Amino acid sequence: MLKIVSARDYDDMSRKAANIISAQVILKPDTVLGLATGSTPIGAYRQLIDWYKKGDVDFSQVRTYNLDEYRGLGHDDPQSYHYFMRDNFFDHINIDLNNTHVPDGANPDAEAACAEYDKMVADAGYPDLQLLGIGNNGHIGFNEPDDHFSKGTHCVDLTESTIKANSRLFEREEDVPRQAYTMGVQTIMYARMILVVANGAAKAQAVHDMCFGPVTPQCPASILQLHPNVVLVADKEALSLCE
Ligand code: PGA
């Protein structure tokens, strides 16, 4: 079920992922995309921007739902995922910003913010294609290793390993928010197709466990083995333990 596409390097991974996303948008112009933040998908977003500018792909009817957002950050905070998505993607293509959605980290009422997001994603009919990065610890979205798989959007305490991994993007480690709102694993599994991108040796263990380990909430990405339509595009380093 899980198709593995090997890429030479980060650029090759990014182009291959962008090809799959743009094919989806060409085939279904009003596609619902589930989108991800992090360093890994940035290259794919750049490629899609480039193809948009060349007139090859049109986002005017596309709707997007992001996986997660830090709790407590305003939408214009440069560390927020709202900002990240505009800065790295939305501001450079012809998407209607009203059709883009990210959990509302600025709403301190976690229950309301998460319930509202779940309803929006459900009303949209769930993503046709969900883009996913994978954490060094196997997390998807901010669904961290746990003793159960999560269901809908919920508030999570980030693990020390994720806070450390993400602190590279903040001035000081103590600036990294400790909580986030994230789509749940069940919601992610409702997407009709899932595209996972991974690069670098730090992801090798998580990528191996996702593809070949036991299906366990200790590696949230391993649940993807039970999804009927998953493509992993990863570079050689990320695939180094899969050979
Ligand atoms: P990264 O994050 O792309 O910045 O490595 C991936 C993730 O944590 O999901």
Q: pLDDT tens across 100-126, in order?
A: 999 999 999 999 999 999 999 999 999
According to DSSP, residue 243 is labeled -
User: Considering 66, 99, 137, 166, which one is annotated as catalytic?
Assistant: 137
Q: What is the pLDDT of residue 23?
A: 98
Is 143 among the residues known to form the active site? Answer: no
* Residue 85: burial class (beta carbons within 10 Å; 0-12, 13-18, 19+): buried
Q: What is the pLDDT of residues 140-176, one digit of tens each?
A: 999 999 999 999 999 999 989 889 988 998 999 999 9
pLDDT of residue 165: 87
- Mutational test site, ligand 1, from 68, 85, 132, 134, max ligand atoms within 8 Å of CB: 134
The alpha-helical segments, DSSP class H, found in 124-233 are 160-166, 185-189, 204-212
Helices (H), the chain: 10-27, 42-53, 81-88, 110-123, 160-166, 185-189, 204-212
- C-beta of residue 219 within 8 angstroms of C-beta of residue 210: yes
Question: How many A from CA of 160 to the centre of ligand 1?
Answer: 15
Ligand 1 contact, 135 CB (< 6 A): yes
Q: Whose CA is nearest to atom 2 of ligand 1?
A: 38
The predicted model scores a pTM of 0.97
Residues 6 or more apart whose Cβ sits within 8 Å of residue 121 = 65, 101, 127, 153, 183, 187
Per the annotation, the verdict on 68 as an active-site residue is yes
Indicate which residue's Cα is closest to atom 7 of ligand 1: 135
DSSP letter at 31 equals P
- How many angstroms is it from 134 CA to the middle of ligand 1? 6
Q: Which of 166, 161, 153, 165 is nearest to 218 (CA)?
A: 161
Token look-up 């599994």 returns 189
